[in-house]
């Protein structure tokens, strides 16, 4: 069998401006990056708090590598659960105000493992239609009856919940929507879910670190307890600047995941030095409030500037500030024109976002300066 058919499918994708490629980063993740040998000012990483290259985190990583080596060596259930994994889990539980937390190697695996440990064929899963791909995949794999509700629409969710006959129901939503930047209406979602005896799971990949007084994410932002919001998932590769993910909740939830989450059981634990580095990152997230304040002020500056330029922004109070373009060709052309001006911003196209809603996904970081945001606004003015 030859690959001719695949080759022609790739051609079709190229012709539609939907082809994906990688650019090679030759510097740490920071505002000023080197990509394919050229210097750029970047506005597209999820390093929201500017911690991915923080010296204290880098140094904790090195020191733990000296003490514990590099590889996790085995599954957490065999011999891969090290001192730093255990300590980080306890610290994440305290941080989120939940009884327990469990570490996963990444957010995709945390979502797949959690939904599949909780649901089977007799159950139902209710998902916002703009949920992250890993949540949609998790729901499909579980075999539970899969229902999507309109984006952030509590009436649409209520209608579906009130009709279900399932043994168990799970409502799943992004806390901050990854491609739009808006925040889920969690108080109302949790209310209606509790009323219908459904569990709620929030994927707070983009809220953790950024929202809430101490950075504990959308649960802290809205003041939602473990009873109201029983399954809280966060990732460590974005605002935390390291790698991995966790689920926080009750003792019974965490013990169930340890017994049944296949992406926890059948995989090697994260490198212990990553856990050690994340412990330092967590301290910075909790104590350096100025990073969230700096972000808030950059977000306001950017939004004011875009308004003056007549650019169409989305209704987002978070560091995710997409500029809606619509057409994939046009989004690609704008991204290329910005690159010519020394700015690195990727175009996000279908199927990552719905058809006709290609966009430039601008993300801000506490490590950006006002001068850099003004440079971005100038460049946008020239290419718009
Ligand atoms: C990035 C992301 C994930 C995946 O997390 P990784 O740790 O990168 O695998 C899951 N959910 C959402 C909403 C995300 O944005």
Let me know if residue 323 belongs to a domain. Answer: yes
- Is 132 annotated to bind a ligand? Reply is yes
The closest residue, in CA terms, to atom 14 on ligand 1 is 205
CA of 238 to the centre of ligand 1 (A): 8
Indicate whether 83 and 192 sit together in one domain: yes
CA of 235 to the centre of ligand 1 (A): 6
- The chain-wide mean pLDDT, for the chain, equals 97
- Is 206 annotated to bind a ligand? Reply is yes
Indicate whether 277 and 133 sit together in one domain: yes
**What domain range is 169 assigned to?**
55-287
The closest residue, in CA terms, to atom 8 on ligand 1 is 107
pLDDT tens-digit map of 272-328: 999 999 999 999 999 999 999 999 999 999 999 999 999 989 999 999 999 999 999
Let me know if residue 176 belongs to a domain. Answer: yes
Query: How high is the pLDDT of residue 252?
Result: 98
Number of domains making up the chain: 2
Indicate whether 314 and 340 sit together in one domain: yes
Residue where the block lists tokens 């229902």: 147
Per-residue buried b or exposed e for 27-58, using 16+ beta carbons within 10 Å of the residue's own CB: eebbbebeeeeeebbbbbbbbbbbbbebeebe
Indicate whether 223 and 172 sit together in one domain: yes
Is residue 107 lining ligand 1, measured as CB closer than 6 Å? yes
> Considering the chain, what percentage of its residues have pLDDT values greater than 70?
100
pLDDT-derived band of residue 111, with 50, 70 and 90 as boundaries?
A: very high
pLDDT tens-digit map of 1-46: 899 999 999 999 999 989 999 999 999 999 999 999 999 999 999 9
- Asked if residue 187 lies in contact with residue 222, where contact means CB atoms within 8 angstroms, the answer is yes
Of 54, 84, 85, 206, which one is the catalytic site residue? 206
What letter does residue 271 receive in the DSSP assignment? Answer: P
Least confident stretch, 100-104, 151-155, 245-249, 353-357: 353-357
Indicate whether 218 and 298 sit together in one domain: no
Of 178, 269, 335, 367, which one is the catalytic site residue? 178
Indicate whether 93 and 162 sit together in one domain: yes
Which atom in ligand 1 lies closest to the alpha carbon of residue 175?
Answer: 13
Residue where the block lists tokens 């995709």: 108
End-to-end CA distance of the chain, in Å? 47
Indicate whether 283 and 293 sit together in one domain: no
pLDDT tens-digit map of 145-174: 999 999 999 999 999 999 999 999 999 999
pTM over 0.85: yes
Indicate whether 156 and 270 sit together in one domain: yes
> How far is 329 from 332, CA to CA, in rounded Å?
5
Indicate whether 97 and 147 sit together in one domain: yes
Is residue 361 lining ligand 1, measured as CB closer than 6 Å? no
Tokens of 18: 């939907």
- Asked if residue 250 lies in contact with residue 99, where contact means CB atoms within 8 angstroms, the answer is yes
Looking at 263, 287, 311, the residue that finishes a domain is 287
Indicate whether 201 and 313 sit together in one domain: no
């Amino acid at each position: 069998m030859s690959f001719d058919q695949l080759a022609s499918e790739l051609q079709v994708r190229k012709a539609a401006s939907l082809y994906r490629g990688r650019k090679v980063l030759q510097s740490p993740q920071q505002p000023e990056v080197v990509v394919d040998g050229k210097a750029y000012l970047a506005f597209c990483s999820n390093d929201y708090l500017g911690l991915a290259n923080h010296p204290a985190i880098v140094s904790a990583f090195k020191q733990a590598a000296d003490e514990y080596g590099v590889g996790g060596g085995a599954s957490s259930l065999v011999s891969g659960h090290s001192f730093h994994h255990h300590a980080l889990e306890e610290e994440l539980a305290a941080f989120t105000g939940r009884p327990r937390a469990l570490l996963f190697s990444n957010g995709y695996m945390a979502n797949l493992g959690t939904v599949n440990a909780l649901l089977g064929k007799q159950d139902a899963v209710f998902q916002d239609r703009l949920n992250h791909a890993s949540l949609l995949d998790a729901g499909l794999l579980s075999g539970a009856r899969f229902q999507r509700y309109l984006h952030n629409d509590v009436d649409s969710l209520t209608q579906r919940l009130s009709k279900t006959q399932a043994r168990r129901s799970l409502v799943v939503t992004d806390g901050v929507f990854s491609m739009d930047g808006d925040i889920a209406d969690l108080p109302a979602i949790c209310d209606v879910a509790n009323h219908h005896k459904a569990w709620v799971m929030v994927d707070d990949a983009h809220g953790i670190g950024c929202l809430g007084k101490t950075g504990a994410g959308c649960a802290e932002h809205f003041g939602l307890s473990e009873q109201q919001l029983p399954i809280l998932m966060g990732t460590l590769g974005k605002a935390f600047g390291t790698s991995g993910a966790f689920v926080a909740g009750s003792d019974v939830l965490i013990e169930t995941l340890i017994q049944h989450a296949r992406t926890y059981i059948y995989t090697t634990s994260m490198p212990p030095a990553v856990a050690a580095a994340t412990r330092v990152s967590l301290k910075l997230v909790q104590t350096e409030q100025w990073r969230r304040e700096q972000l808030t002020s950059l977000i306001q500056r950017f939004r004011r500037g875009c308004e003056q330029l007549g650019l169409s922004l989305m209704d987002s109070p978070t560091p995710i500030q997409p500029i809606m373009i619509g057409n994939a060709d046009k989004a690609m052309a704008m991204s290329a024109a910005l690159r010519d001006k020394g700015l690195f911003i990727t175009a996000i196209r279908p199927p990552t976002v719905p058809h006709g809603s290609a966009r430039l996904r601008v993300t801000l970081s506490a490590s950006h300066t006002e001068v850099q945001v003004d440079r971005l606004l100038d460049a946008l003015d020239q290419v718009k």
